[in-house]
Structure 1
Amino acid sequence: MISCIRGEVLEIGLDHAVIDAGGLGYRINTTPATLAGLRRGQSARLETTLIVREDSMTLYGFADPQARELFGVLQTVTGVGPRLAMATLAVLEPDQLRTALSTGDIKTLVRVPGIGKRVADRLVVELRDKVGVVPGPDAGESGGVIGGPVRDQVVEALVGLGFLARAAEQTVDAVLAEQPGAGTAVVLRASLTQLGAAR
């Protein structure tokens, strides 16, 4: 099992990246949010899962272990394979997905191409008690729980892109103060915009 890959980003496509690790170029299928945090020619680290089929071996990559765990959990549901699981994570941030599953939010789940009401119902029934995070009754409390890992992930991504740790932390804190419930991709984009303007 290949659980993670670190190396230089050689190529960034619409749904994948190629990372050079130990002289080998690994094609890794991933989500738009994860691709947004990669830069060609710079070092990156992705959590990965290798799916082996009779006619293929496919690597799927994630910015953090939480997303990789959800990718695996989604596939325990009948009718959900790697492609649909990845599509789900492309549309919904891990925190959004956990919340939708734990609260039975069918409307949010059916936003994912390939997930109809029947599959959404099955996801909720089978995964409601497995996702691990149930939002608190107060939005502020929920934001506090989510903000920690989001902050850490975005700061780590910015430092990996070459920004100073202190500048990254200050910028991410400012973005989260304005958008306390924002997901990783939103915070990363806003932080990059602010840091780019400051240069």
Structure 2
Amino acid sequence: RAGLRPRCVAPHATDCPVIASVEGVVGAVAFDSLVIEVGGIGYRVFAAPAILAAAVPGKVLKLHTYHLVREDQQALYGFRSAEELGFFNLLLTVTGVGPKVALAIVGSRPTADLQLAIMTQDQAVLVSIPGIGKKLAERVIFELKEKVAAAGVAAIGSGGPGTGPGGGASEGEIVGALQALGYSLSEAREASRAALADVGVSSSLEERVKAALRSLLRE
């Protein structure tokens, strides 16, 4: 999953915040954040609704964090996994996307689903998120399509059951993902069929896309 690991997006390496994760006892839980108590210090961490709903005061919780540092503000944004944090960082590179919008996107559904929506240019998925309009959805897709692809296909497929024969990924999903990478419809269809012969009908989206890309690179 190279390319989607947590990274600093500050202009200079010396500006990179140092709080990469927080683990401690959950204190107060608010509508947009929670307090994690570590060594007598309470850290306020902004998080997605799913994290806040699952947080239990008095229980230990660990979150991967993005440490926002500005001249007039510091804030922590928490995530359940390094993949979520990495995708959050990627969203921050999009023009007009700040931490609050990026958090809303990351917290809306599984990261793999969001990455697939970007690759297949499925605006409907992004527009369904509160606060994300059509223009912003178009910008996210335009600016991140190649970055998500370059980050590694392993982070795009969820690996779960698909809709194709045998419970695997469907040909439409594979073709859409390959077209999002710039391949023509005919190239994508041919590569999808080659991938099917290579990894079988029960393969996941991740496995099928990897196999399809291998066949295209061999040409």
Q: Is the 8 A contact 1:32 1:90 kept in 2?
A: yes
Q: Please show how residues 95-174 of structure 1 align to structure 2 within 5 Å.
A: 95-131=112-148, 132=152, 133-135=155-157, 138-139=162-163, 140-141=167-168
> 1:121 is aligned with what amino acid?
E
Q: Distance in 2 between matches of 1:54 and 1:19?
A: 24
Q: Is the 8 A contact 2:112 2:156 kept in 1?
A: no
Larger deviation, residues 104-113 vs 88-97 = 88-97
Aligned residue for 2:147, secondary structure, equals: coil
1:16 paired residue number: 33
Aligned residue for 1:49, secondary structure, equals: strand
> 1:2 is aligned with what amino acid?
I
Q: Is the 8 A contact 2:116 2:156 kept in 1?
A: yes
Higher Rg? 2
Check if 1:65 corresponds to 2:82. Answer: yes
**Gapped regions of structure 2 (runs ≥ 5):** 1-17, 170-219
Q: Distance in 2 between matches of 1:134 and 1:80?
A: 21
Q: Is the 8 A contact 1:19 1:25 kept in 2?
A: yes
Q: Distance in 2 between matches of 1:59 and 1:86?
A: 11
CA spacing shift, 1:25–1:122, aligned 2, 3 Å:
same
1:91 to 95, 100, 108: 108
Alpha-carbon RMSD? 1.9
Check if 1:78 corresponds to 2:106. Answer: no
> 1:105 is aligned with what amino acid?
D
Q: Distance in 2 between matches of 1:65 and 1:108?
A: 22
Aligned residue for 1:130, secondary structure, equals: helix
Count of residues in Structure 1 that have an aligned counterpart in Structure 2: 142
2:19 paired residue number: 2
**Gapped regions of structure 1 (runs ≥ 5):** 143-199
TM-score, structure 1 normalization = 0.66
Q: Distance in 1 between matches of 2:168 and 2:112?
A: 14
Offset from partner CA, 1:144-178 (integer Å, 9 cap, x none): xxxxxxxxxxxxxxxxxxxxxxxxxxxxxxxxxxx
Cα offset, 1:134, TM superposition: 4.0
Q: Is the 8 A contact 1:91 1:111 kept in 2?
A: no
Q: Percent identity?
A: 40
